Structure 1
Amino acid sequence: MKCIVGLGNPGAKYTNTRHNIGFLAIDALAKEHGIKLTESKFKAVFGTGMIKGERVVLVKPLTYMNLSGEAVRPLLDFYKIAVEDVLVIYDDLDLPLEKMRLRSKGSAGGHNGVKSLIQHLGTQDIKRLKLGVGRPPAPIQVIDWVLMPFAKSEQTTLQHVLSDSVNIATDFIDTPFLALMNRYN
């Protein structure tokens, strides 16, 4: 069984913000594969289904970004999913909106949601798909930038990014991660 986690913040005011691009990616993936995100426990909303013949759980933690590990750890324990079978999708300020990057491990890089995952999962060896949201233009502060909705002028690019993230997450199911990184990075 595989687990794909999108990081974000719960609540309507965060729905289309840059910080919630992980949630948007999970929603797009769920729609593509007909997986309903109707389960609600372990401080998360999630759904299970099949992708490429493999059972998969798609997860959106409801703990707020900085506490994401509190939702993911118990869910992995319940389903007996190993950390190596997890892909985490989240926003990255250091990549422009149209860019994505797969990583097999590493530090949190200043991302508090990833920091929480590393803390609760006990390892930095967490596969991740980082979706670029870019740095804010002056004088906008980072915290304000990530909590801003995407501009109308960014919607076409955002839809391409989400479509690409669906393809990458789908291929994660049956492709060795090194091959996945070589294909998409």
Structure 2
Amino acid sequence: MVNTAIQLCVGLGNPGAEYAMTRHNAGFWLIDRIAAVYGEQFRTEARFHGQVCRIHCHGQEVRLLKPMTFVNQSGRAVAAIARYFNIPSEQILLAYDELDLPPGQVRLKQGGGHAGHNGVRNTLALLDDGNFWRLRIGIGHPGTKQQVVNYVLNAPSKTDTDCIDTALTLVVQQCPELFAGQFQRVMNRLHVKPASE
């Protein structure tokens, strides 16, 4: 029987204080919150091109990774740690910002393409297959393709920040079942529209 439990949870973002509050760092926001809830701190691991910590969640050991390579080269860090610990792609969860979802919505899925996200594109290129899980954190869309770069590299509004914060809180609450591989149960709870819609 294939083990579906998550061994590696990766949050995508850009290193540096100037990027800390930007939309492109939504993956970092989630991963930082998970580490804090489980009382762990990140340490820099040069061989994994990122910051790493381990948490124990209801008996399940999970490594958390924040690539320090900038978003477009995230795959270097993901591939390095996955190969070192022999973690199959189906036991990897990648969390990242999603333009095509409004703030406050999150979606969990396995496999698929990169949908224009360069961090996912690079991860797909460097892992053996694309069968990893994705947690897409809605940040909304600026309206035109030309505005996207400036949009993701700026901070969300107070209203959008509150919506994203609520969504991240919900995700953290699901961590025990999420990391245990109870994906359908987690999707049933996450894939609901906010009451404001």
TM-score normalised by length of structure 2: 0.87
Partner of 2:40: 35
Partner of 2:131: 125
Does structure 2 conserve the Cα–Cα contact (< 8 Å) formed by 1:4 and 1:169? Answer: no
Structure 1's unaligned 5+ residue stretches are: none
- CA separation in 2, counterparts of 1:119 and 1:139? 23
Does structure 2 conserve the Cα–Cα contact (< 8 Å) formed by 1:49 and 1:57? Answer: yes
Matched AA of 2:100: D
Partner of 2:58: 52
Matched AA of 2:139: V
Query: Cα offset for 1:140?
Result: 7.3
Query: Cα offset for 1:18?
Result: 0.5
After superposition, the C-alpha distances for 1:104-154 in whole angstroms (9 at most, x for unaligned) are 110001111001111111222110110000001579711000000122233
Partner of 1:21: 26
Partner of 2:174: 168
* Mean Cα deviation higher: 85-94 or 162-171: 162-171
Partner of 2:8: 3
Partner of 1:112: 118
Percent identical pairs in the alignment equals 35
The 4+ residue runs of structure 1 with deviation greater than 3 A are 137-140
User: Is residue 94 of structure 1 aligned with residue 100 of structure 2?
Assistant: yes
Structure 2's unaligned 5+ residue stretches are: 1-5, 192-197
* Mean Cα deviation higher: 124-133 or 77-86: 77-86
SS in 1 for 2:21: coil
Partner of 1:134: 140
After superposition, the C-alpha distances for 1:64-94 in whole angstroms (9 at most, x for unaligned) are 1011010111111222222111111000000
Aligned match of 2:67 in 38, 56, 61?
61
Number of residue pairs aligned between Structure 1 and Structure 2: 185
Residues 169, 114 of structure 1: CA spacing in aligned structure 2 closer, same or farther, 3 A cutoff?
A: farther
* Mean Cα deviation higher: 175-184 or 165-174: 175-184
Aligned match of 1:81 in 87, 92, 99?
87
- CA separation in 2, counterparts of 1:47 and 1:108? 26
- CA separation in 2, counterparts of 1:152 and 1:176? 33
SS in 1 for 2:45: strand
